[in-house]
C-alpha cells in the first residue's frame, strides 16, 4: 500500500506540473507547446528546473537565473494534485486489475477539477474546451469500465452517466434560466454535465448538496467577515469542483452514513 501511495503521489505531482501549464495558458489562448520560462526574466527553464516539487524546494522557490521568487501556487498545485492522487489510491485499495480503470478515471477527474477550480477562481470562467474534452474522456472511461465489467446493458455506467449528466444539465439550466444568470453562470451549467459523467447516480446527489452547503457556508463567512460583498461572489464552479472531489473520494461513505442516520438499511 505504501508503495502505491508514494507512486500515486509522484505521478500526481508530475501531472500537477502539467496542470500548472494548462491553468496558465488555456485561459489566454497561449500555445501549449512552447518551452516553459521564468515569468520574470523570461529565461528558458531546463529539465532540472521543472522537476515537480523537488526543484521548488531545492531552489527555495526562486528562479535559478534572476533569483526572483516563483509564485508558490506552482508548488501547491503539484503537492495538492499528488495528495489527491494518493487519496484516490487509498480509497480503492486493495485494487484488483479491473479497478485500475476506476483509479485512472478518478485520477483524470482530480486533474480536471484542479484545472476547473483554478481557472474559475482566477478568471470566473469555465472553458468550453475543458468541458468538452473532459466529457468525451469520461464517456470513454465509463464505456471502458462497462466493457471490462460486462455491464454494457444491465447496470450500465455509460447510460447512468449520460442520464445523470443530462439531468444535472437540465436542473442547472433551469436555475440559470429562472435566476437569469444571477445564481449561477452558464459555465456552471455546462460543467454540471461533466459532474454527472464523473459521479453518476446516486452519488451525484451528494455532489450537488455538498456544493450548495459549502457555497452557503463560505458565503456566510465572507459576508460576516465583510471581506467580500454578496455581489462580488466566489464563482460557484469552485464549490462544484470541491464537492465533486469530496464525492469521488467519500461519496458512498457519506450516503451510507446518511441512510443509517435516517434508519434506512440499504447500502450503496
Residues of the shown chain interacting with Zn ion in the complex, contacts defined by CB under 5 A: 38, 40-41, 63, 65-66
Closer CB to Zn ion, residue 63 or residue 126?
A: 63
Q: How far is the CB of 54 from Zn ion (least distance, A)?
A: 18
CB count in 10 Å sphere of residue 128: 10
Task: Rank residues 64 and 123 by Cβ distance to Zn ion and give the closer one.
Answer: 64
CB 179, min distance to Zn ion, A: 45
Using the minimum distance from each CB to Zn ion, give the nearer residue, 38 or 139.
38
Tell me how far, at minimum, the Cβ of 63 lies from Zn ion, in Å.
3
Using the minimum distance from each CB to Zn ion, give the nearer residue, 59 or 175. Answer: 59
Among residues 63 and 165, whose Cβ is nearest to Zn ion?
63
114: which 3 cell numbers?
484542479
Count of beta carbons in the 10 Å neighbourhood of residue 78: 25
CB of 57 to Zn ion, least distance (A): 17
- To the nearest whole angstrom, how small is the minimum distance from the Cβ of residue 42 to Zn ion? 7
User: Is 64 or 228 the residue whose CB approaches Zn ion more closely?
Assistant: 64
Instruction: Give the Å distances, CA to CA, from 74 to 160, 241, 268.
Output: 36, 19, 38
**Minimal distance, residue 114 CB to Zn ion, in Å:** 25
β strands within the chain, DSSP E: none
d(CA 115, CA 119): 6
Amino acid at each position: 500500500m505504501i508503495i502505491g501511495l508514494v507512486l500515486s503521489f509522484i505521478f500526481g505531482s508530475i501531472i500537477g506540473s502539467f496542470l500548472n501549464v494548462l491553468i496558465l495558458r488555456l485561459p489566454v489562448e497561449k500555445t501549449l507547446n512552447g518551452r516553459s520560462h521564468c515569468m520574470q526574466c523570461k529565461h528558458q527553464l531546463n529539465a532540472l528546473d521543472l522537476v515537480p516539487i523537488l526543484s521548488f524546494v531545492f531552489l527555495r522557490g526562486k528562479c535559478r537565473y534572476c533569483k526572483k521568487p516563483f509564485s508558490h501556487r506552482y508548488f501547491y498545485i503539484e503537492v495538492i494534485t499528488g495528495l489527491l492522487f494518493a487519496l484516490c489510491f487509498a480509497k480503492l485499495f486493495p485494487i484488483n486489475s479491473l479497478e485500475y480503470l476506476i483509479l485512472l478515471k478518478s485520477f483524470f477527474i482530480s486533474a480536471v477539477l484542479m484545472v476547473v477550480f483554478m481557472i474559475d477562481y482566477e478568471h470566473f470562467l469555465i472553458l468550453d474546451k475543458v468541458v468538452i474534452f473532459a466529457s468525451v474522456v469520461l464517456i470513454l472511461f465509463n464505456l471502458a469500465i462497462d466493457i471490462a465489467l460486462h455491464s454494457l446493458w444491465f447496470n450500465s455506467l455509460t447510460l447512468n452517466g449520460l442520464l445523470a449528466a443530462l439531468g444535472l444539465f437540465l436542473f442547472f439550466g433551469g436555475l440559470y434560466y429562472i435566476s437569469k444568470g444571477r445564481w449561477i453562470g452558464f459555465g456552471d451549467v455546462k460543467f454540471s454535465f461533466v459532474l454527472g459523467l464523473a459521479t453518476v447516480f446516486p452519488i451525484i446527489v451528494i455532489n450537488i448538496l455538498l456544493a450548495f452547503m459549502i457555497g452557503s457556508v463560505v458565503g456566510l463567512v465572507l459576508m460576516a467577515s465583510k471581506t467580500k460583498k454578496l455581489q462580488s461572489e466566489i464563482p460557484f464552479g469552485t464549490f462544484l469542483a470541491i464537492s465533486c472531489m469530496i464525492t469521488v473520494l467519500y461519496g458512498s461513505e457519506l450516503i451510507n452514513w446518511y441512510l443509517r442516520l435516517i434508519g434506512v438499511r440499504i447500502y450503496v
